[in-house]
């Protein structure tokens, strides 16, 4: 496996971020440990979760993913080997939002579940337009000064608010966002490309795109007339339109050329895009991991990249 670690602020991360949204949802603790072990054994070191994962499951309260990861750290004794990202503000603890009180209590709950005393990359999960940026940036800066958080980042934020937040951090000498986590993939480009990507590039930030495989659509297993038993099938099937079929055809063509999986090609395309440091993808089982990790060894040609980019317009 090629060692092509990427920089996010002061952090050095593997070019594939492992999504923890499935832990405690479609993967139980035993399955989650197996995936985490296999990812780490392959050289992976960048694990992404959130305090709210997986509150959408009946009977869950949120925090299940963090708890699984914390138990894994405790049983493997490998916390220092991992760059850990989690998030605050999406509803655990209630209420939603980014008030100083929510951030202060949220980080303590996350640290407890994760069984650690620091978080490497702490995201504001959603912007809170009801608050001035100074409220949450001041609260996040305090966490950095206390050593509870190493770097801060933003998910689901507009270009305007990101620029405002960066300017405030600069003017006040506060901890500054080093990354964004946008919705971005071959069939969802306008969710990142344009003003938001421009601000990220202008300020030298990194992007860690979520839904990198479009809820599994870009694995190629969702085709017209094909039934897939998956918790994500509804989300993936919405891409089965003319554009989506064009993208699948292009993925198939490039994948065949390189004897690669469509998922590998889709991730490699995303990793090639300006500002992208580490696409985010999740694996429910160990068998799903090799196609994801193979992106680090897949060298797409300019012809490949152009074909995919044109098909996805």
Confidence (pLDDT) at 230: 66
pLDDT band at 89 (very low <50, low <70, confident <90, very high): very high
In a domain, 234, yes or no: no
Is residue 250 predicted with pLDDT exceeding 80?
yes
Range of the structural domain that residue 19 is part of: 6-215+262-298
What's the whole-number average pLDDT of the chain? 95
Confidence (pLDDT) at 94: 73
In a domain, 253, yes or no: no
In a domain, 87, yes or no: yes
In a domain, 257, yes or no: no
In a domain, 244, yes or no: no
Q: For residue 17, report the phi and psi dihedrals to the nearest 5 degrees.
A: -85, 130
Catalytic residue among 39, 53, 184, 222: 53
In a domain, 227, yes or no: no
The count of domains in the chain is 1
Confidence (pLDDT) at 233: 64
Is residue 205 predicted with pLDDT exceeding 70?
yes
In a domain, 85, yes or no: yes
Is residue 178 predicted with pLDDT exceeding 70?
yes
Is residue 158 predicted with pLDDT exceeding 50?
yes
Is residue 62 predicted with pLDDT exceeding 50?
yes
Please spell the DSSP secondary structure of the chain, one letter per residue.
Answer: -----EEETTEEE-SSEEE-TTBTTTB-HHHHHHHHHHHHHTT--EEE--TTTTTTSTT--S-HHHHHHHHHHHHHT-GGG-EEEEEE-SSSSSSPS--HHHHHHHHHHHHHHHT-S-EEEEEESS--TTS-HHHHHHHHHHHHHHTSEEEEEEES--HHHHHHHHHHHHHHT---EEEEE-B-BTTB-TTTTTHHHHHHHHTT-EE--BSTTGGGGGGT---TT----STTHHHHHTT-SHHHHHHHHHHHHHHHHHT--HHHHHHHHHHHSTTB---EE--SSGGGHHHHHGGGG----HHHHHHHHHHT-
Confidence (pLDDT) at 1: 44
SS (H, E, C) 100-156: HHHHHHHHHHHHHHHCCCCEEEEEECCCCCCCCHHHHHHHHHHHHHHCCEEEEEEEC
Confidence (pLDDT) at 224: 87
In a domain, 309, yes or no: no
Q: Is 118 a catalytic residue?
A: no
Q: What is the mean pLDDT of residues 78-86?
A: 98
Q: Residue 43's domain is classified under what CATH number?
A: 3.20.20.100
């Amino acid at each position: 496996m090629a060692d092509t670690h990427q920089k996010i602020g002061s952090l050095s991360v593997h070019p594939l971020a492992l999504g923890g949204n499935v832990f405690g949802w479609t993967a139980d603790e035993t399955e989650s440990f197996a995936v985490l072990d296999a990812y780490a054994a392959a050289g992976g070191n960048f694990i992404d979760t959130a305090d709210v994962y997986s509150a959408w499951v009946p009977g869950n309260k949120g925090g299940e993913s963090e708890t699984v990861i914390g138990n894994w750290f405790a049983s493997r004794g490998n916390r220092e080997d991992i760059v850990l990202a989690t998030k605050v503000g999406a509803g655990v603890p209630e209420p939603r939002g980014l008030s100083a009180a929510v951030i202060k209590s949220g980080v303590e709950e996350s640290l407890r579940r994760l069984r650690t005393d620091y978080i490497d990359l702490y995201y504001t999960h959603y912007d809170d337009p009801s608050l001035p940026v100074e409220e949450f940036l001041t609260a996040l800066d305090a966490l950095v000064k206390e050593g509870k958080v190493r770097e801060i980042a933003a998910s689901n934020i507009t270009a305007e608010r990101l620029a405002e937040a960066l300017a405030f951090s600069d003017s006040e000498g506060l901890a500054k966002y080093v990354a964004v986590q946008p919705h971005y993939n071959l069939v969802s480009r306008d969710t990142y490309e344009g003003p938001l990507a421009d601000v990220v590039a202008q300020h030298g930030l990194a992007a860690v795109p979520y839904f990198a495989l479009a809820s599994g659509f870009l694995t190629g297993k969702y085709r017209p007339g094909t039934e897939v038993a998956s918790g994500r099938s509804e989300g993936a099937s919405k891409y089965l339109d003319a554009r989506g079929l064009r993208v699948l055809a292009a993925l198939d063509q490039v994948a065949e050329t390189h004897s690669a999986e469509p998922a590998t090609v889709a991730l490699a395309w995303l990793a090639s895009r300006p500002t992208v440091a580490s696409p985010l993808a999740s694996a429910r089982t160990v068998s799903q991991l090799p196609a994801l990790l193979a992106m680090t060894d897949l060298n797409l040609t300019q012809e490949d990249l152009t074909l995919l980019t044109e098909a996805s317009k």
